[in-house]
Structures are given as structure tokens and as C-alpha cells.
């Protein structure tokens, strides 16, 4: 393919979701229990209103939706990139924070911290989430590695099936312990209820602004490590032969996945299947490079979560369905289709 066509295709791979994301954010700000026309929405965002009572109500409606929309963009981008990083680093097509036990580990750490009296504010929560995600990642990787060595008698990275099984076991264990904590400490349930189902409804702009740099740094690390993902897909020995450093690349990718997952859980609670759906869907369009794929995962992940939040607010208005539910409703059929078509091979 000529260089000009490659550049144009890569640009389209990024620009198309960027335009869709901008339109989706505009729709998310305009639509809800009180619909506001797009012209008025743009006028409010630009800071100009005529001062009438109706305009004041419309402005309040639009402004109240900004924090949740910004949060949906950040969390969607973080989870989309996390899925690409996990799938590449572990060579596991089912790499997703919710399937490999990372989200469950973060939730258990948050519940345990609240039971011990840790304040339910963002800074302690993000610290607990990072610790829980990191411990879960280490345990899953260690258990899967041990299982693979016992099964094959050789070393190397854990196999995809071992990671899936270890992730399922850790998820079940962490979920059971979290439930036990909530039963033993009923007062924790009131503070923990927001995190039991993924939601962007209660996040403030201050929370989003605090975690935005962390998410951007995590995405940047994955983007910089993207060329190494191609080498990892060939196996550690071939990667070494090609001059790559698979251990360093894998550590950076898994570290970024831990940070991104913890930030997403701290902002919105457990939101599943975004990291599974987005990378698999984009690979069907054959991106020209892994770096382009990572950018696409960030943008389409943001689009998916903005759309999920908007759908949840409109389908049962004036009530709402949280994004933790809508993404699962979307994700389960996608997973079944992937398995049926043998697009996912364990």
C-alpha cells in the first residue's frame, strides 16, 4: 500500500471516532430528562444565554451533565486502552479488567478500606483501588504462571487459558469477600453502594480533573510501548531475537493497566466488557499499526461509554440505568458472538 494511502487510512482510523465522540458528547449534554436543542447547548457551553427563565433551566440541565460526560470519556478511554494492553501483554484474547480479576481486586480493597474507617473521598479511594488492582494482578499472574508450568513443565509467560481461569477464580473470591464485608459492616454499604454498580452519575468535575492526568499518563505509556506488542505476539524467544525487551515491555504494559483500571474503578466503579469489546471490534478493520489501534481503542472506548450512559438515561427516563449494566448487556452478546465465530481461541 502506498505511503500516502497508509497515512490517510491511519488518520481516518483516528479522526472518524474523534468526530463521533464530539457528536456523542453534544448529544449526551443535550438529551436527558429535559431535552435541550443543540443550538442552545452550544450557546450554554460557550457561555452565552439570554437570561430568561427557560434558558436558565436549560443551562442548568446542560451544566449538570458535563461531569458525567467528562467522566464517561475518561473511563471509556482508560478501559479501552487497558483491554488492548492486557490482551497484548498476556497474549490473551479475553484480556479485560473485569474478566482477569483486576476490577474485583480494586472493589475488595475499597470495601476493606471503608470497613476500616478510611474516608470515602477520592484520594484514599484511588490509593485503595491501585493497591487492590496491583495485588490482584500479581496473584492472577503468579497463579496462572504456576498452573502453566505444572501443565507444560516449561517456563515462560502464562497461557491464555490459565489466565482466564485464574482471573475467574480471583474474581469469585474477591466478590465473595466483598459481599462478606458488606454483610458484616452494614454501615459500609451506604458508602459503598455507588461502587457496586458502575455509574458516572455522582462524579464531580474535580474528581475527573484529579484523575485525568493519571489516565493520560497511563495511555501514553501504552502508546509508547505499542510497537513492543507486535513482538510479544510472537513469543518471548522470538521477541528477544528481534531485539525487543519482552519483560520490560510486559511490566510497563501491566503497570499501565493497573493504573488505568484503578483510576476507572475509582471514578465509576466496576464497568465490564469495554476492554474486551473495543479492541476486538477494531482489529476486524485491520489497523496499520498497533499504535493506531491503541489510539482507536481510547477514542472508541470513550464513544462506547458516552453512548452507554446516554442510552441508560433515555430508555427509562426520568429514571436511569447505570453504565455498569448497559455495558454488560452489550458485552455478553459480543463475547458469545466472538466465541461462536471462533474469533477468540483459548
**Are 93 and 87 spatial neighbours (Cβ–Cβ below 8 Å)?**
yes
**Are 195 and 265 spatial neighbours (Cβ–Cβ below 8 Å)?**
yes
CATH number at residue 194: 1.10.3470.10
**pLDDT tens digit sequence for 201-230:** 878 888 899 899 999 999 999 999 887 777
Q: CA-to-CA distance for 172 and 178, rounded, in angstroms?
A: 10
**25 within domain boundaries:** yes
The residues near 173 (Cβ < 8 Å, ≥ 6 apart) are none
**209 within domain boundaries:** yes
The residues near 249 (Cβ < 8 Å, ≥ 6 apart) are 89, 225, 228, 229, 231, 232
Domain enclosing residue 157, as ranges = 3-340
Q: CA-to-CA distance for 159 and 92, rounded, in angstroms?
A: 8
Residue 333 pLDDT grade (very low, low, confident, very high; cuts 50, 70, 90): confident
**Are 280 and 339 spatial neighbours (Cβ–Cβ below 8 Å)?**
no
**196 within domain boundaries:** yes
**346 within domain boundaries:** no
Q: What percent of the chain has pLDDT over 90?
A: 19
pTM of the model: 0.85
**276 within domain boundaries:** yes
- Tell me how many domains the chain contains: 1
Residue 346 pLDDT grade (very low, low, confident, very high; cuts 50, 70, 90): very low
Average pLDDT over residues 21-47: 86
**pLDDT tens digit sequence for 289-308:** 888 899 999 999 999 999 99
**pLDDT tens digit sequence for 102-119:** 888 888 998 888 888 888
**109 within domain boundaries:** yes
**345 within domain boundaries:** no
- Residue 335 pLDDT > 90, yes or no? no
**129 within domain boundaries:** yes
Query: Bigger pLDDT: 303 or 270?
Result: 303
pLDDT, position 51: 55
Amino acid at each position: 500500500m502506498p505511503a500516502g494511502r497508509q497515512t490517510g487510512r491511519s488518520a481516518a482510523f483516528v479522526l472518524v471516532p474523534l468526530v463521533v465522540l464530539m457528536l456523542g458528547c453534544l448529544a449526551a449534554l443535550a438529551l436527558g430528562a429535559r431535552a435541550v436543542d443543540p443550538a442552545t447547548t452550544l450557546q450554554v457551553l460557550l457561555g452565552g444565554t439570554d437570561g430568561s427563565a427557560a434558558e436558565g433551566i436549560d443551562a442548568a440541565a446542560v451544566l449538570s451533565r458535563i461531569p458525567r460526560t467528562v467522566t464517561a470519556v475518561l473511563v471509556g478511554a482508560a478501559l479501552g486502552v487497558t483491554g488492548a494492553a492486557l490482551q497484548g501483554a498476556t497474549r490473551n484474547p479475553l484480556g479485560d479488567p473485569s474478566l482477569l480479576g483486576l476490577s474485583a481486586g480494586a472493589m475488595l480493597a475499597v470495601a476493606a478500606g471503608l470497613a476500616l474507617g478510611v474516608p470515602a473521598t477520592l484520594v484514599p479511594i484511588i490509593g485503595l483501588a491501585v493497591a487492590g488492582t496491583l495485588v490482584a494482578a500479581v496473584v492472577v499472574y503468579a497463579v496462572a504462571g504456576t498452573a502453566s508450568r505444572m501443565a507444560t513443565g516449561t517456563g515462560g509467560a502464562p497461557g491464555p487459558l490459565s489466565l482466564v481461569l485464574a482471573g475467574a477464580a480471583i474474581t469469585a473470591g474477591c466478590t465473595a469477600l466483598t459481599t462478606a464485608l458488606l454483610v458484616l459492616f452494614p454501615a459500609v454499604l451506604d458508602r459503598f453502594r455507588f461502587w457496586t454498580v458502575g455509574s458516572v452519575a455522582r462524579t464531580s468535575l474535580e474528581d475527573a480533573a484529579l484523575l485525568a492526568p493519571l489516565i493520560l499518563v497511563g495511555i501514553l505509556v501504552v502508546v509508547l510501548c505499542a510497537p513492543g506488542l507486535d513482538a510479544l505476539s510472537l513469543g518471548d524467544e522470538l521477541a528477544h531475537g528481534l531485539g525487543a525487551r519482552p519483560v520490560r515491555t510486559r511490566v510497563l504494559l501491566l503497570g499501565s493497566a493497573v493504573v488505568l483500571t484503578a483510576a476507572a474503578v475509582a471514578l465509576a466503579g466496576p464497568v465490564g466488557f469495554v476492554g474486551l469489546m473495543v479492541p476486538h471490534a477494531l482489529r476486524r478493520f485491520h489497523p496499520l499499526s498497533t499504535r493506531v489501534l491503541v489510539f482507536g481503542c481510547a477514542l472508541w472506548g470513550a464513544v462506547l461509554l458516552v453512548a452507554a450512559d446516554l442510552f441508560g438515561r433515555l430508555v427509562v427516563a426520568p429514571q436511569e440505568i447505570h453504565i455498569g449494566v448497559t455495558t454488560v448487556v452489550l458485552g455478553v452478546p459480543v463475547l458469545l458472538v466472538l466465541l461462536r465465530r471462533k474469533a477468540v481461541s483459548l
